[in-house]
Amino acid sequence: MTHLGIGVMLNRLMADDGGDVFRTAIGKTITALSLDVDNNREDMLRITFDDGSKIALYDNGQSCCETRYMRTDDDLTHHIGATLVGGEIRDAPDIVEDGGDEAHEVQFLLITTSRGVITLSNHNEHNGYYGGFALRIIAE
């Protein structure tokens, strides 16, 4: 990642990433999991717990001239009834497209449960001037 976009920079300077929200969810039993598209944000992972609390995880770094999205090939239903154990972010190699004029960054979000790890990939496709990710976790 050669350039950080203004959205990523502002989020890193001013916003709470939601680490406290995530930490309070650790140890809770998951009753629902979904990867949804929200009209006001990019794709987000939503987790509901047995005490009725809910959290959402999403990339809040959107700047102009970018396409951001989140994907997983994992079966989220496998983790329903599991306990949330932790989470981790890992940078991945950029995807090199034919011609190399555009940038395609990838960052992995790993959610660990008592039944294993859910791997999500966050993608940011841009023209090379709007890089980076700004993962946010909110209580819903």
The boundaries of the domain holding residue 90 are 6-139
pLDDT in tens, 77-87: 999 999 999 99
Q: Are strands 84-91 and 43-49 parallel, antiparallel or unpaired?
A: unpaired
Task: Confirm whether 99 is domain-assigned.
Answer: yes
Task: Confirm whether 1 is domain-assigned.
Answer: no
Task: Confirm whether 86 is domain-assigned.
Answer: yes
pLDDT in tens, 27-64: 999 999 999 976 655 699 999 999 999 999 988 777 77
Tell me the mean pLDDT in the region 94-120.
88
End-to-end alpha carbon distance in the chain: 31
Give me the number of domains the chain comprises.
1
Task: Confirm whether 104 is domain-assigned.
Answer: yes
Instruction: Tell me the whole-structure pTM to 2 decimals.
Output: 0.84
Mean residue pLDDT of the chain comes to: 84
Task: Work out whether the CA dihedral 19, 23, 24, 25 comes out positive or negative.
Answer: positive
What pLDDT shows up at residue 5? 52
What pLDDT shows up at residue 13? 46
